[in-house]
Structure formats: C-alpha cells, structure tokens
Amino acid sequence: MVKSLSLTEENYLKAIYHLSDSGNESVNTNSLAESMRTTPASVNDMMKKLSNKNLIGYKKYKGATLLPEGKNSALHVIRKHRLWEVFLVQKLNFKWDEVHEIAEQLEHIKSPLLVERLDEFLGNPTIDPHGDPIPDANGVIKEVIKAPLSELDQGSSGMLVNVSNDDPALLQHLDKLKISLGSRLTIVERMDFDGSVSIKIDGKDNHFISQAIAECLMLTILDQ
C-alpha cells in the first residue's frame, strides 16, 4: 500500500528515482536542489522528513537512496504520469511535445481506482508516447534492450523505441523530420569532427542530425 504523501514529497521521490539510475544509486543534495529548483537547505529539510517516514536512506553530505517503500511510491507516481501521457495523446489528440507539463499535474491524483480504470481503458499500455516504459500496478517495469543512435556503427539500422529527452523543441524537430516511435533509422555517415550523423529515415531521404540529438534517440538494433 502506497503511503499518502504530499505533492512535494512525491516530486522529491520521483526526482531521486530519475537521478539515481532507477533508484539504485545515491543522489547528492546539490543535484536534487538543481532538479527541484530549490536550495540545498530546503533539500536537507525534505530529506530528513522522507527519512523519518522510512522512504529514503539519508546521510548529510553523502546523499539519499530510495528505500523499498520510497521506490514503490516513486514508481506509482511515474506510472500515473505515463498513463496520463498516453491518454492525452491517444484520446485527446495532444502531440507528444505537449503532454509532459499536463501529466505533471495529473500524476498527483490519489484515486487508485481511477488509475486502474485508466489503465484498463487504454488497453494496459507498456510504453508512453516517448517510449518510456510504464510500471505495472506492482511497480514492475518491462525493460527493452536499446542503445543511443550515437553509439551505432556506420551502416547499422535500428528502430526508434524511446526518446530520452522530452524537451518540446526536440520533439517538434523530430516531427519536422518525420521521426517517430517505430521509425527505422540507418546510419549513412558519421562526422568525426563534431559527432553529427547522416541518417536515412524509413529508407527515404538522408538528413543530418547533431550528436546531441543522436544521443537522445534510443534504438533497438535491427538485422541488416
């Protein structure tokens, strides 16, 4: 049973999860302060509060780690966020670059029954519109083996399964290039000078993309 937490407490647990390699590493105070756009002193106060609730392990100057109940709470919030993103895109016709901020608000709805009905209504999706995995009701995530396009060899092909950065400007640029989840991307040429790559999209026209963008495009490797 997930504890009843405040909006701020949920946001901290979610931030620790994302910053700690899915809850497996310690997160320092400065990183949390930057992520939460607050001061280290405020982070310390919240860490003490979450520690007293047995949600995190925390030592001053050494950082915070999620305890099992804290990780479960974080995954519960992430599950709601990603289900709402699916709903907004599939049922309300939002674009994938428009849904993150709205889902940030909807993820704090408390009703477990609503989340269960939402999941059923959407057909129990396993990924959100950006390809991020959706935890199931037990907090289990089905991971897919993938690699960033920036690490593929020249001539290799992969299917886009995830965009690791949900910045609207990036998603809008991908839309202009007609790159979406499921697109087949082939490395035609790699520029050693700046790491940019020329790619073929679904076997059609070539386009150059920067190294920064290539690092955000996560692919499953396809047979040549």
Per-residue pLDDT tens for 82-122?
999 999 999 999 999 999 999 999 999 999 999 999 999 99
pLDDT for res 195: 87
Counting Cβ atoms within 10 Å, is residue 152 exposed (0-12), middle (13-18) or buried (19+)? buried
Q: Is it the case that residue 224 has pLDDT exceeding 70? A: no
Question: Based on the domain organization, do 126 and 154 belong to the same domain?
Answer: no
**pLDDT value for 101:** 95
pLDDT at residue 4 in the model: 81
Write down the pTM of the prediction: 0.86
Rounded-to-integer distance, Cα 126 and Cα 161, Å = 12
Same domain (yes/no): 136, 157: no
Written as six digits, the tokens of 38 are: 């607050």
Q: Which domain holds residue 130?
A: 1-143
Last residue of a domain, one of 93, 124, 143: 143
Residues 170 and 59 in one domain: no
Residues 55 and 135 in one domain: yes
Contact 159, 202 (CB under 8 A): no
What's the structural domain count of the chain?
Answer: 2
- CA-CA distances (angstroms) from residue 136 to 74, 75, 160? 13, 9, 22
84 and 18 fall within a common domain? yes
> Would you state the structure tokens that stand for residue 12, as one six-digit string?
């901290």
| CATH code assigned at 24 | 1.10.10.10
Please give the full DSSP string across 122-136, using - where no structure is assigned: TT--SB-TTSPBPP-
Tell me the two tokens of residue 104.
Answer: 């940030």
* Same domain, yes or no: 39 and 95: yes
Q: Which of 143, 177, 211 is the last residue of a domain?
A: 143
**In terms of domains, do 128 and 176 share one?**
no
Q: Are residues 68 and 99 part of one domain?
A: yes
Do 192 and 133 share a domain, yes or no? no
Tokens of 61: 């100057």
For 130-142, write each residue's pLDDT tens digit. 999 999 999 999 8
The pLDDT tens digits of the residues spanning 166-214 come to: 899 999 999 999 999 999 999 999 888 888 999 999 988 889 999 999 9
Domain end marker among 90, 116, 143: 143
Residue 142: predicted pLDDT: 84
User: CB under 8 Å to 84, separation ≥6 — which residues?
Assistant: 99, 102, 103, 106, 107, 118
Residues 29 and 134 in one domain: yes
Is residue 139 classed as helix, strand or coil in its secondary structure? coil
| CB 17 within 8 Å of CB 78 | yes
Is the separation of the CB atoms in 185 and 162 below 8 Å?
A: no
Between CA 23 and CA 152 the distance in angstroms is 27
Q: Is there a single domain that holds both residue 39 and residue 135? A: yes
Answer yes or no: do 182 and 204 share one domain.
yes
Q: What is the CATH number of the domain that holds 173?
A: 2.30.30.90
